[in-house]
Amino acid sequence: LEGIIAAHTRLSDVRGDIGQLIYCGYDINELAGQVSYEEVVYLLYHNHLPNAKELASLKAVLSGYRELPQGVIDMLTSLPKDCPPMHAIRTGVSALGCYDTTADDDNMDAQRRKALRLIAQIPVITAYFHRSRQGLPLVAPDATLGEAANFLWMIDGEKPSVEKESTIDMCYVLHADHGMNASTFSARVTIATLSDMYSAVTTAIGTLKGPLHGGANEGVIKMLKEIGSLDQVDAYVADCLAQKRKIMGIGHRVYKVLDPRAPHLKRMAQILSAKLGDPKWIQMSERIAEIMLTEKNLHANVDFYSATVYYSLGIPTDLFTPIFAIARTSGWTAHVLEQL
């Protein structure tokens, strides 16, 4: 990478020293809970927030792009039922490239179309695989629903509550982009060889999957289940620290203060846990975060509380990282377009 400018982007700015995340000039705290995921997609693509007409037109484009080629559906439904969803999604995106006759068309309009199609189709790949592995009938996308609601509809087979939809929508907003993180960087490396959109996003999904990157949110729930109860937390964390084992969801390569996304997710986790009447998971999480701050001066990151949020919403653990991938597709593709 000698002499190569890699980390310059207009898309997002991660200020690790002061704990600030900015998307195209907007502080994440101005966006979270205020705008929808589709508005953030528009912002990343056009560098400004949409007006009502622009937003309606983007929503129509995305909902019109959802359906998958039959060959991809057949492939997804023939995968082993116990295949981890991130493998299925990575393979599904790669397969989409085989069915798109414009996959190698480098015209920028074609690139933008492919990018938007991936934003619309990755949730569908995830939902079809998830239904098929349970032996359940596939649920067709519903063009009247936005991205968050449609995904929940397609995995559950029932329309989500307003609260569930808005929670997932806010999670999408918080995960949409994050500067030159590992998966975005790998997507940019791939497209920098003038490969294609599908290859770039396939690369990114493979990179996000790792437990030190997007896979950490699944690791958090596994860890909480392994610990079992609040009174076991101190001993568990002490043991991990003694053995130099990483605590999932803690620490960050860039933020040396609190990850600005964490408080939004913590608040959601608290509300949902209280509603569920099972405060155990959030109490354990808070105690882990407290110890790690005192002992190592390390803060919770985006994955730490998102795990409890998804768990409280009844989302299967192995769909946590896919949800991250669904949301981050907006950032990956915007970066690929910027790189081009």
The total of other beta-carbon atoms located within 10 Å of residue 52's CB is 7
Site string for ligand COA, 158-197 (x = CB under 6 A): ----------------------------------------
The distance of closest approach from Cβ of residue 236 to ligand COA in the complex, given in angstroms and rounded to an integer, is 12
Write the DSSP assignment of 291-335 as a string of letters.
HHHHHH---B-HHHHHHHHHHHTT--GGGHHHHHHHHHHHHHHHH
Give the nearest residue (CB) to ligand COA. 251
Q: Strand, helix or coil at 89?
A: helix
Identity of the amino acid at 219: G
Between 115 and 220, name the residue whose CB sits nearer to ligand COA: 220
Catalytic residue of the set 130, 175, 178, 252: 252
Identity of the amino acid at 52: A
Q: Which of 150, 301, 308, 333 binds ligand COA (CB under 6 A)?
A: 301
Determine whether 264 is an active site residue: no
Taking Cα atoms as reference points, which of 10, 8, 45, 12 lies closest to residue 28?
A: 12
Q: Strand, helix or coil at 15?
A: strand
Determine whether 48 is an active site residue: no
Between 66 and 299, name the residue whose CB sits nearer to ligand COA: 299
On the CB side of 177, how many CA atoms lie within 13 Å of its CA? 32
Catalytic residue of the set 169, 196, 303, 335: 303
The distance of closest approach from Cβ of residue 245 to ligand COA in the complex, given in angstroms and rounded to an integer, is 7
- Residues 198 to 217 in contact with ligand COA, rule: CB under 6 A: 212-213, 216
Between 155 and 302, name the residue whose CB sits nearer to ligand COA: 302
Q: How long a stretch of residues is the chain? A: 340
The distance of closest approach from Cβ of residue 67 to ligand COA in the complex, given in angstroms and rounded to an integer, is 33
Give whole-number Cα distances, 265 to 10, 105, 108, 205, 234, in Å: 25, 40, 36, 23, 23
Site string for ligand COA, 215-254 (x = CB under 6 A): -x-----------------------------xxxxxxxx-
Instruction: Give the active site residues.
Output: 252, 303
Residues within the interface to ligand COA (CB under 6 A): 212-213, 216, 246-253, 296, 298, 301-303
